[in-house]
Amino acid sequence: MDALILTIIATSIPLLLAASGELIAEKSGVLNLGVEGMMLSGAVGAFGAVLWLGNPYFGIIAGAISGILMASVFSIFTINLMTNQVATGLGLTIFATGFSGLAGAPLVGKTIPYLPKIEIYLLSDIPLIGNIFFKQDLLAYISILLIILITIFLNSTKPGIVLRAVGDNHNNAHSIGYPIKKIRWLATCFGGMCAGLGGAYIPLILTPHWSEGMTSGRGWIAIALVVFASWIPWRIIVGALLFGGITIAQFVGQTRGWPIPSQILSMMPYIATIIALTMISGRFSKNKSIVPASLGKPFVDVT
């Protein structure tokens, strides 16, 4: 049972990281549909860095930088040039898919060392929960810390309140002197960094080899997770574990010979995403206050 729980947790960490960053971006009013592309960039950047430098911790740094670079490209177009955020995000993902495939072509067939586990002294020896919660890798600890810090940031700090104000009404926030484009740039780059870390987690922990498109749609699930969580940080943990469990269920079903076609089992995480979004869409239509009012709207400075 411990092994199954650990596998579910490991599968949910990339979703948790990417969704945390996307939440901050959306709270600022930026709808970033390029998360999948940023995760792919983080994955190939991390794999290449570890293969070149030999230390998996350099993969974390490379994954974060790769995500930030992609987010910067996205920001130039959507924030400075005010292009359509949906179209730009889709275009970025298409570009990153091709670019990561090209950059990763020489890496096919090679392997890298796993990111080591970090045991927390004494706590890791606690029966039942010690091995699950206190014997994880660095990125797993970072993902939980991010949720805690984001919750505090959004609810208890002035910069967090300003970020929310920008996402709710950028014109009002601008009228009292807040730099809308700068705030959105920082929020989007933070989201790109988290997406890059989520992508880096895949070759560093889940599959220590490179394959084209290895994120397998996790970026799209991460975007859906933000909506599933109603833009509330701690709910992302619940959603990530839920979708992580559904992802693992397809492999369990295949190994145990469930009388379900393998294609249906492979579709389960994405079917669950569609069902979840459908179930909560009615709730959003009744209570639009939970959605950042300026989400997806470009800011035009007329002063």
Are 32 and 265 in contact by the 8 Å Cβ rule? The answer is: no
Instruction: List the CATH number of the domain containing 206.
Output: 1.10.3470
Q: What is the pLDDT of residue 135?
A: 85
Q: What is the pLDDT of residue 121?
A: 78
The answer to whether residue 302 is domain-embedded is no
Q: How far apart are CA 117 and CA 234, in angstroms?
A: 24
The answer to whether residue 295 is domain-embedded is no
pLDDT-derived band at 301 (thresholds 50, 70, 90) equals confident
Total count of domains within the chain: 1
> Average pLDDT, stretch 206-230?
89
Q: What is the pLDDT of residue 126?
A: 82
Place of tokens 């495939």: 101
pTM summary value: 0.91
The answer to whether residue 234 is domain-embedded is yes
Lowest mean pLDDT among 78-82, 282-286, 293-297: 282-286
The answer to whether residue 296 is domain-embedded is no
Range 82-116 burial, b when 16+ CB lie within 10 A, else e: ebebeebbebbbeebbebbbebbeebeeeebeebe
The answer to whether residue 208 is domain-embedded is yes
CA end-to-end span of the chain, whole Å? 61
> Average pLDDT, stretch 147-170?
95
Amino acid, res. 193: M
Q: What is the pLDDT of residues 251-281, one digit of tens each?
A: 666 666 667 676 676 677 777 777 766 665 5
The answer to whether residue 279 is domain-embedded is yes
Range of the domain at 105: 2-290
Q: What is the pLDDT of residue 81?
A: 92
Q: Does residue 87 surpass a pLDDT of 80? A: yes
Q: Going by C-beta distance under 8 Å and a sequence separation of 6 or more, which residues neighbour residue 235? A: 228, 229
Q: What is the pLDDT of residues 141-158, one digit of tens each?
A: 999 999 999 999 999 999
The answer to whether residue 297 is domain-embedded is no
Are 237 and 140 in contact by the 8 Å Cβ rule? The answer is: no
Q: How far apart are CA 31 and CA 22, in angstroms?
A: 8
Are 112 and 59 in contact by the 8 Å Cβ rule? The answer is: yes
The answer to whether residue 300 is domain-embedded is no
